[in-house]
Chain A
Amino acid sequence: MRRFDTSPKGSKEEIMKSLEEIHKIRVEKRKELDLRVNTKADTREKHILVCHGTGCTSSKSPEILENFRKIIKEKNIENVRVIKTGCFGLCAKGPIVIIRPEDTFYAMVKPEDCEEIIQTHIIEGKRVERLLCKDIDGKIVNSLDELNFYKKQKRIALKNCGVINPEEIDEYIAFRGYEALERVLREYTQDEVIDIIKQSGLRGRGGAGFPTGKKWELTKNAEGEQKYVVCNADEGDPGAFMDRSILEGDPHSVLEAMEIAGYSIGANQGYIYVRAEYPIAVKRLQIAINEARDYGILGKNIFGTGFDFDIEIRLGAGAFVCGEETALLESIEGKRGQPRVKPPYPAQHGLWGKPTLINNVETYANIAQIILNGSDWYSAIGTENSKGTKVFALGGNVNNIGLVEVPMGTTLREIVYDIGGGIPNGREFKAAQTGGPSGGCIPKEHLDTPIDYESLKSIGSMMGSGGLIIMDDTKCMVSLARFYLQFTVSESCGKCTPCRIGTKRMLEILEKLCAGEGDELDIYKLEKLAVNIQKASICGLGQSAPNPVISTLKYFREEFREHAIAKECRALECKSIANIVIDSDKCKGCGLCQKNCPVNAIEGEGREKRVINQDKCVKCGTCLTSCPFHAIGK
């Protein structure tokens, strides 16, 4: 396991870089890396980029990287470099290999494919047809930009992800890295920086959407000599991995923004609170911090301006509630992560009682771009009250699972169908869940809602940190609500009673409904409890815990009533009340269901229509997915 060095390494004078040297790196490295972003780059070099995000890493991308390097060395090939990068976004097609400058996109590469790629692509100059990525419509895609998945995206926070090697500071500098920090330190006053952020309209990307500039101003104006900057990288929403990808793909962008924030509010110490479940992100952050210290970009007297700033990493230890800002502060202080009563807010009374600025990873990732391109550029993107872009982790029952960054105001339909490529297996869209355990479900009739803070709130959901889970018609909304309540019950810190006991009671009622033992009164009780918990809990976790229940009740009340009164589950997910039957009109007698049934509950021979023996059936649902004619249902 990694060690955390708490002493600044920047004291090694011999490798500290002067401003001139950094400018030189920027110009020279940029020329060298032109082929990464310019398909017509004038160079004989080729770069093989291998995705090293968590998804691709778990499907052996480090082995692919090693293989490429080995083969290139063996064959003595010149002008080819193999580079590890952050996430390209399209995790469903991983491991991903991209060859630049021609921008060829190879999907689902296996370690044994490296030989062929080198031989055919690099040596013979042809494409390896069988590995080229196919779009949802079956069309073979030659380059990244041709994919429908990327067409509607606009990358600001993820700008460098998949372009640079996150473990090399020079590559970050080449793409205007630390230029914003330099400009801020040398040209702007504290108030000027805060004004730019305020005018850009940037709002917190952690969920609640508090205006970032306002938060900076409050912390700057708070009284106190010692102030802190904290980065909330405790991404706990199940199904959300935006922050992780930014930390893994572009860690320096977060460091730079924290320094800018530190300068603006008058702090010289920063902490990044990151989940221990993200070992790769932690490692790359530590590398980035060390590199920045070596270059003198972190530490004392940054760029010779007299501004000091240092950053330390603090590890989380698996508690969802620590994503709540005051619980996070408690955890940094080495205590149980239990939220404090607000007010006072962290801006006045934060870490060790000092004024503290807390922003989320994605919020920070936007800062340098805003400084470089101006607040007008940023505020031109998005809707009236929600500016810029938002990164979503698209998952669940959708074809293109992965990371998407879209301008605010993009509709859900565009994300699900144009970018996400629709629902697999010919199924129907049922609902989209945003905001994780604090958010809600969006049904089909709201597919055309533009996504921004206000409109999501008005339809009973919330932006959240950006998890976006798509569900098809095989998902039961009652058991989904139960799933989220299970989560909240196990993650409730126990400090306040409404959350600790109330959520438990809600869960019990939902379990009763799923088991077919509930009645209509239970639905009423659920609603009542939900309102009380919302009103009486002390922190965001408790206040938002009933949201999944409230929103599913709002849009799928019929399903709750079916569970309570008719004891039926139309999605066939609640096993104790589901009855699976085969529609004899649709059944073609292929026998696939029979082959797949683990308990031999399906009867019939040859081309006969099949029947399910209800006594034997364990309602596992395997036959439902195996039937090519959708003949099996309730």
Chain B
Amino acid sequence: MEEKKCECNCQNKDAFMEKLFQEYKPVKDNLISMLNEVQEHYGYVPMNCQKELSNFLNIPMAEIYGVVTFYSRFTLKPKGKYNIAVCLGTACYVKGSQKIMDRLKERLKIEPGETTQDGLFSIEETRCVGACGLAPVFTVNGEVYGKATVKKLDEVLDEIINNKPKI
């Protein structure tokens, strides 16, 4: 088998896919669960992984690509180091989460689904994260910031830009 190179920076990529292939049976209905794992591990679904999955599960590439692009959790491009997701579920919307999103777009100068050029930030619109009691909320790499305000968002952004802390 020819050697596979991954498009992402990850070093132990082959090991990860190999492990996945050992844990799952090669049946078609495992596709979405496996894609979830790939997305979680790499932060996106690299083309190469799609090819490997296609071989493993015996599903045409076109079909896999169709599935990846259908579900909003799967992305074809890497997300930023800090992925900020603003909840636009109804409870958050009613409490003004659109203002948070507008501010975010204004400061980072990107649209939802995009990554800043330096690769530091990406933003996304998310549906309900279920923390409606804390509305409006946004999350940074999965960590929830509740009762958010534009000011709070600015503080979080400033902290990342100035110190680049680990979140």
Contact = CB atoms under 8 A, between A and B. Distances in A.
Interface stretch (B1-9, B68-76, B114-122, B157-165): B68-76
Contacts of A393: 91, 132
Interface in B20-69: 23, 25, 28-33, 35-37, 40-41, 57, 59, 63, 66-67
A336 interface: yes
B146 interface: yes
A239 B132 contact: yes
B80 interface: no
Contact of B70 (A236, A319, A402, A475): A319
B89 A318 contact: no
Contacts of B35: 317
B99 interface: yes
B133 A55 contact: yes
Contacts of B94: 395-397, 469-471, 475
Contact of B89 (A238, A314, A337): A238
A276 B73 contact: yes
A336 B25 CA distance: 20
B71 A319 contact: yes
A332 B128 CA distance: 22
A396 B29 contact: no
B133 A239 contact: no
A493 B143 CA distance: 29
Contact of B32 (A317, A467, A620): A317
A397 B71 CA distance: 31
Contact of A402 (B88, B93, B126, B133): B133
A54 B36 contact: no
Contact of B134 (A4, A55, A333, A470): A55
B91 A318 contact: no
A401 B146 contact: no
A39 to B, nearest CB: 26
Nearest to A278: B130
Contacts of A317: 32, 35-36, 71-74
Nearest to B93: A483
Interface string A356-398: 0000000000000000000000000000000000000101110
B153 to A, nearest CB: 13
A370 B165 CA distance: 52
Given A55-B133, A92-B133, A314 B33 contact: yes
A93 to B, nearest CB: 8
A395 B36 contact: no
Interface in A281-315: 314-315
A254 interface: no
Interface residues of A, number: 52
B36 A241 contact: no
A337 B66 CA distance: 10
A461 interface: no
Contacts of A436: 90
Interface in A21-65: 54-55, 58-59
A469 B93 CA distance: 10
B89 A239 contact: yes
Contact of A319 (B63, B72, B95, B128): B72
Nearest to B147: A59
A91 B72 contact: no
A320 interface: yes
Contact of B67 (A239, A336, A397): A336
Interface centre among A277, A334, A620 (most CB of B within 10 A): A334
A6 B24 CA distance: 8
Contacts of B135: 395-396, 401
B107 to A, nearest CB: 13
Nearest to B72: A318
Nearest to A394: B132
A94 B133 contact: yes
A428 to B, nearest CB: 15
Interface centre among A238, A333, A469 (most CB of B within 10 A): A238
B144 interface: yes
A126 interface: no
A237 interface: yes
A472 to B, nearest CB: 9
Given A334-B28, A402-B133, A395 B91 contact: yes
30 contacts: A1-B37, A1-B41, A54-B129, A58-B131, A59-B144, A91-B131, A236-B128, A237-B90, A238-B88, A238-B93, A239-B132, A240-B128, A276-B36, A315-B32, A317-B36, A317-B74, A318-B73, A318-B127, A320-B127, A334-B57, A335-B63, A337-B70, A395-B133, A396-B91, A396-B95, A397-B95, A433-B90, A469-B90, A475-B94, A493-B70
Interface of B: 23, 25, 28-33, 35-37, 40-41, 57, 59, 63, 66-67, 70-74, 88-95, 99, 126-135, 137, 143-144, 146
Instruction: Sort A-B residue pairs by CB-CB distance and give the 3 closest, nearest first.
Output: A91-B133, A238-B89, A58-B144
Given A59-B144, A241-B128, A318-B73, 13 more contacts: A54-B129, A55-B132, A236-B128, A237-B128, A238-B90, A276-B36, A314-B32, A334-B29, A334-B30, A397-B94, A397-B95, A401-B135, A469-B90
